[in-house]
Amino acid sequence: MPPHQPADRTPASVVDALFRRESGRVLAGLIGRLGDFDLAEEALQDAFTVALEKWPGDGVPDQPAAWITTTARNKAIDRLRHGRRQGRRRLELEALARSVSSAGADSQEENALSPIVDDRLRLIFTCCHPALAAEARVALTLRTLGGLKTPEIAAAFLVSPAAMGQRISRAKAKIRDARIPYRVPGDADLTDRLAGVLSTIYLIFNEGYSASSGDRLTRSDLCAEAIRLGRLLAELMPDESEVLSAVALMLLHDSRREARVDEGGSLVLLPDQDRSRWDRAQIEEGMGLVAKAWRMGAPGLYGLQAAIAAEHARSVDGSAPDWERIANLYGLLETVNPSPVVRLNRSVAVSMTGRNEEALAIVDELLADGGLAGYRYLHLSRGEFLARLDRYEEALAAYGNVVRLSENQVDRSFVGKKLADLQQRLADGPGPSP
């Protein structure tokens, strides 16, 4: 069939959209019933290939997702009959696949379509298991639950499709060989394991949000994907306040994405951002989730971060953020997550309350600790505090460090403006205060 004929475009785009929307759900169900990650994935790919072949001629079936599920089951049985799997395991799997098929035939088709909630939740916990490396968790989660194809994930993480394919197949081999279970952990481990799931989703978001290099368009897709995964998790675990908070945090950050960069591509800091470019719907939803999560109990890592983001988002209506409260929230966050980056953020909030000396003392301490010496935002903040204290020579040196450390053109041109501004002030003579 000619490639540009409209008749074959529609089914192909239906298949594509269906893959994005439903592959995670169907795959989760297949893995749950077959107990074999690889077999389920192969069968699902087969089913989509058949759909691409048949639908342009036969038309799209009434219930495409149910059609895919049934076809994938049959393909799983075919693969078992003709495949490499041998011995007892093969017999076990064949019996499983047959039972799945007959159950599907007996019951209503919509039964196959009904949300297999537990299976998707199991799949998330398997993909984000602590026995897998963080980068493998990210790739596997995007591929299985996000319905992203390997080359798409590779492009977003700036590695070759071959390398990404290898990363994913190594992770799947470990799931199989080490027998990483396909289940939601028990109460004793749930908090820890949920933290691992949330950190994986947030890592995907951050990769999209604070790109240190690369193509911006592909990157923003990662933000949308992370929010979608977060929403899914919130739907599956509605009583977990940290899940709601994580979704809120991502929404509140994402609401400002358009305003973070100006037309020339330069980074715009929060106080200078055009509020009209903030996404109000996302802010409203995020603030609602923050309030709901805080009513559920003591806030954790994400509850505190989301509360800070919500405080910033309040200024969408022109009201000033409560910097004292933000500084206190960062103080609480330090007790949950004593990281130097959190301390750096607290220093910024402290500076905004007008206590620049105190803010400078915090960053100087961080600089002395050495852990963040190569972190460009530390030098950027230090430059800001020094400039506010009219110590322009030192501020210039700090901004010089930012330029030296940045790989990102947007950051560089931002600092370039700061440098020019400071050099002008120095040329104009001593600052306003003695």
In the complex with another protein, the residue whose CB is nearer, 189 or 215, is 189
Smallest gap from Cβ 54 to another protein, in A, equals 36
Structure tokens at 141: 């989660």
Smallest gap from Cβ 65 to another protein, in A, equals 30
Buried b / exposed e along 29-64 (16+ C-beta atoms within 10 A): bbbbbbebbbbbbbbbbbbbebbbeebbeeebbeeb
Structure tokens at 53: 């072949």
CB atoms within 10 A of CB 328: 14
In the complex with another protein, the residue whose CB is nearer, 81 or 89, is 89
The residue type found at 239 is D
Smallest gap from Cβ 202 to another protein, in A, equals 23
Instruction: Return residues touching another protein (CB under 8 A).
Output: 86-89, 129, 131, 177-181, 185, 189
Smallest gap from Cβ 167 to another protein, in A, equals 19
Smallest gap from Cβ 181 to another protein, in A, equals 4
DSSP assignment, residue 9? H
Smallest gap from Cβ 216 to another protein, in A, equals 39
Sole residue written with tokens 């909630």: 117
* Beta-bridge partner residues of 267: 261
In the complex with another protein, the residue whose CB is nearer, 81 or 176, is 176
In the complex with another protein, the residue whose CB is nearer, 82 or 88, is 88
In the complex with another protein, the residue whose CB is nearer, 185 or 416, is 185
The pair phi, psi for residue 267, each rounded to 5°, is -70, 135
In the complex with another protein, the residue whose CB is nearer, 181 or 431, is 181
Range 288-293, long-range pairs (CB < 8 A, 24+ positions): 289/244, 289/245, 289/247, 289/248, 289/251, 290/245, 290/248, 290/252, 292/244, 293/241, 293/242, 293/244, 293/245, 293/248
